[in-house]
Amino acid sequence: MKINLNPEDPKNKIIVALDLPSAAEAIALCDRLPQVNFWKVGLELFIADGNTILQELKARHKKVFLDLKLHDIPNTVASACRVATKYGADFLTIHASGGKAMMQAAQGEVLGSSTQLLAVSLLTSISANELASDLKVSLEVSDYVSQLVLLAQESGLTGAVCSPHEVANLRSLLGKDFCFVTPGVRPAGSALGDQSRVMTPQEAIAAGANYLVIGRPINAAPDPVAAWEQICQNLT
Ligand code: C5P
């Protein structure tokens, strides 16, 4: 079932990452934060107990971002997407670097379902130096990200995951209807962790993000409820 949230309410723009090792811990966080309407289930939790948590979130009428970051040959990714639609997730991620044929095949499998595909461009943990020195990509970060996201749009995907630093430029290239989801968001004063290109929630929205993914500043906070409320207050 498709869940429709008021898009004008700033709290509905925040997707909280359930980066936790078990369904029991994830459900405990959902219990503490009934105000959260949109949750992200990533690889750790999905591998640990995906079916349990996804069913639980849907039973609570929550929106779900299933962040599996699929990347394989077109047939394999398309089949995985077809099977993933049974969970009724609202968003599902695949890597744009898997190429156009892979993205088109995946898109063909989710059409008509309630699941929309987002392309992962470049992980926000990858710095410009790592891109050039280790991955030997000769493009600037912003040009590489633009190329991957344009390819995703050409392949028919709904949107992309990218750094908040790239949103303004990408929005001007891809138009108002493409959906941008930005991790790498940190309320002022919180720890960066392994993210190297961050913005505050207010800055990311102002730059043009449709949704923000926020993990450790809420799920690892000593008081997740206070952390959530502070972020929402700053967004209004
Ligand atoms: O804890 P933190 O706020 O850094 O969590 C960010 C979340 O967004 C993680 O679940 C991570 O997997 C995800 N993500 C990311 N960078 C991307 C795509 C997704 O950090 N490019």
Phi and psi torsions of 93, nearest 5°: -105, 145
Q: What is the DSSP letter of 71?
A: -
Q: Which atom of ligand 1 is nearest to the CA of 214?
A: 3
CA proximity to 179, closest of 67, 44, 13: 13
| Amino acid of residue 154 | E
Give 184 Cα–ligand 1 centroid separation in angstroms: 6
Q: Where are the alpha helices (DSSP H) in 4-118?
A: 23-32, 43-59, 74-84, 100-110
In angstroms, what is the span from residue 124 Cα to ligand 1's centroid? 7
Tokens of 67: 């962040």
Distance, in Å, from the CA atom of 224 to the CA atom of 217, rounded to the nearest integer, reads 8
Sketch the domain layout of the chain as residue ranges: 10-235
Pairing type for strands 211-214 and 179-182 reads parallel
Q: Does residue 230 contact residue 216 with C-beta atoms inside 8 Å?
A: no
**12, 60, 171, 236 from 37: Cα distances, Å:** 6, 9, 25, 17
Ligand 1 pocket at CB < 6 A: 17, 19, 42, 67, 120, 123-124, 161, 183-184, 193, 195, 213-216
pLDDT in tens, the chain (236 residues): 677 888 778 899 999 999 999 999 999 999 999 999 999 999 999 999 999 999 999 999 999 999 999 999 999 999 999 999 999 999 999 999 999 999 999 999 999 999 999 999 988 778 899 999 999 999 998 899 999 999 999 999 999 999 898 999 999 999 999 999 999 889 887 787 776 668 999 999 999 999 999 999 999 999 999 999 999 998 88
pLDDT at site 4: 81
Amino acid sitting at position 65: F
Q: How far is the centre of ligand 1, averaged over its atoms, from the C-alpha of 8 (Å)? A: 24
Task: Write down the CATH number for the domain with range 10-235.
Answer: 3.20.20.70
- The pLDDT score that the predictor gives to residue 184 is 84
pTM for the whole structure: 0.94
- Taking residue 22's Cβ as centre, other Cβ atoms within 10 Å add up to 14
Would you say 62 and 38 are in contact if contact means Cβ atoms under 8 Å apart? yes
Longest dimension (CA), the chain: 47
pLDDT recorded at residue 9: 87
| 39's tokens | 């949750």
CB-count burial class (<10 Å; 0-12, 13-18, 19+) for 227? buried
